[in-house]
Structure 1
Amino acid sequence: MADTMFDGFDHTKYRAEVEERWGRSAYADSDRWWRALDEGERGAWQRHVTELSKDWSEAAERGIDPASMEAQDLAARHVDWLRSVPGTPASKLGGDLAAYVLGLADMYVADPRFAANYATSKGGSVGSEFVRDALRIYVEAGL
């Protein structure tokens, strides 16, 4: 996991990608939310995400079963975090939360920008595959 995963992060450079994948309102809503946060709130959010990523990586490092209670608790925390970001399908009542979570889970493995957040000493995509598998089980169990 990159300890500085959000240092200097400029979300605006991904605008076109976000709008293409999830629509203009998804980008606009999340951009408005992010800009409304003060420095302390942004820092707290970043620390929360860093801790979640660290916990995923540590669990993957230990080789726990993605179906285990520990992994499923991480999946629940992850989905709660996704729900907290305005503009995402996870934040909207009636949105297709399951498809959104499954799509992101696959992206965590397929896109090295995401996979880096769940790195382990085992290398490769072991960490992101663990996150994907745990999230899939969580969604299949009924979210």
Structure 2
Amino acid sequence: MEWSIQEIARRAGTTSRTLRHYGDLGLLEPSRVGTNGYRYYGPQALVRLQRILLLRELGLGLSAIAEVLEGQRDTTAALRTHLGLLERERERIERQIASVRTTLHKTERGEQLMPEEVLDGFDHTRYQQEVTERWGRDAYRRSDQWWRSLSEVRRREFLAEQTGIAKDFAQALKEGLAADSDVTQSIVRRQYEWLSTFDAPSKCHFIGLGEMYAADERFTATYDQHGAGTAVFIRDAMRVYGERHLADD
């Protein structure tokens, strides 16, 4: 099956001009172009457009989306990652709905409002408890202040840098390189320097992060989208680097 550019644009809530622009950028090629010059899109193009729209909703620019799509050649793995992000966003929205309902209910009844009820789901600090439990309250406070200080452009650059490192890890794994090889360890050094942009991690912290990448399904999905087993490979490589180059706490 295939659909015209006008039908796809209508279904996606966008315009034919936007879809043509995506095509000009190499983001979304039509399945074919008719003799009349009209563009038609098949199932594979639909899935790619879905991924583009999801990434746009996450706030990524078109150049950043192109990099992500290039690194996510495994469509199934990429869709699993998107699904996880959407499910977490759904949870946040459900919290907001419950919060607004509570506010409306208490307002109508003249009952006292509590900040933890009114503002639930509207904060960006949903990982506060997790970070605090792992590395302490001060670690969360400093990381939160640092992240707030960044401009939106710098935040995207910071995340794009990590995507590049992850893809290099996946490529090293694909080429059969060992976790302790010189090439792999040079990538780990970049990982350490990337983490050190905010605060240089200690040996225990660095190795612990690697363990978390492999154990926490959220991180595993993020890294394994570039190739199955990437998260475990990164964990092993980070342990080697930590043991070789970082001092004990």
Give me the TM-score of the superposition, normalised by structure 2: 0.47
Q: Extract unaligned runs of 5+ from structure 2.
A: 1-51, 60-84, 86-122
The aligned runs of 1:1-143 (5 Å cut-off) are 7=58, 11-86=124-199, 90=201, 97-119=202-224, 123=228, 126-143=229-246
Give me the TM-score of the superposition, normalised by structure 1: 0.79
Tell me, in whole angstroms, the C-alpha distance in 2 between the residues paired with 1:49 and 1:120: 13
Higher relative contact order (CA 8 A, sep 6+): 1
Give the aligned CA root-mean-square deviation in angstroms. Answer: 2.3
Task: Supply the AA of the counterpart residue of 2:183.
Answer: E
State which structure, 1 or 2, has the greater radius of gyration over its C-alpha atoms: 2
- Residue 142 of structure 2 aligns to a residue whose secondary structure is helix
Tell me, in whole angstroms, the C-alpha distance in 2 between the residues paired with 1:60 and 1:135: 14
Change (3 A) 1:107 1:11: farther
- How far is the alpha carbon of 1:49 from its aligned partner? 1.2
Tell me, in whole angstroms, the C-alpha distance in 1 between the residues paired with 2:226 and 2:209: 23
- How far is the alpha carbon of 1:120 from its aligned partner? 5.8
Tell me, in whole angstroms, the C-alpha distance in 2 between the residues paired with 1:44 and 1:141: 29
- Contact kept, 8 Å, 2:177 with 2:184, in 1: the verdict is yes
Tell me, in whole angstroms, the C-alpha distance in 2 between the residues paired with 1:122 and 1:31: 30
| 1:66-110 deviation per Cα after TM superposition (whole angstroms, max 9, x unaligned) | 111110001111111111124xx61xxxxxx11001111111111
Change (3 A) 1:15 1:120: closer
Structure 1 ranges of 4+ moved more than 6 A: none
Change (3 A) 1:75 1:55: same
- Contact kept, 8 Å, 1:19 with 1:26, in 2: the verdict is yes
Tell me, in whole angstroms, the C-alpha distance in 2 between the residues paired with 1:119 and 1:134: 15
Q: How high is the sequence identity, in percent, across the aligned residues? A: 39
Deviates more, 1:54-63 or 1:18-27: 54-63
Aligned residues between the structures: 129
- Residue 13 of structure 1 aligns to a residue whose secondary structure is coil
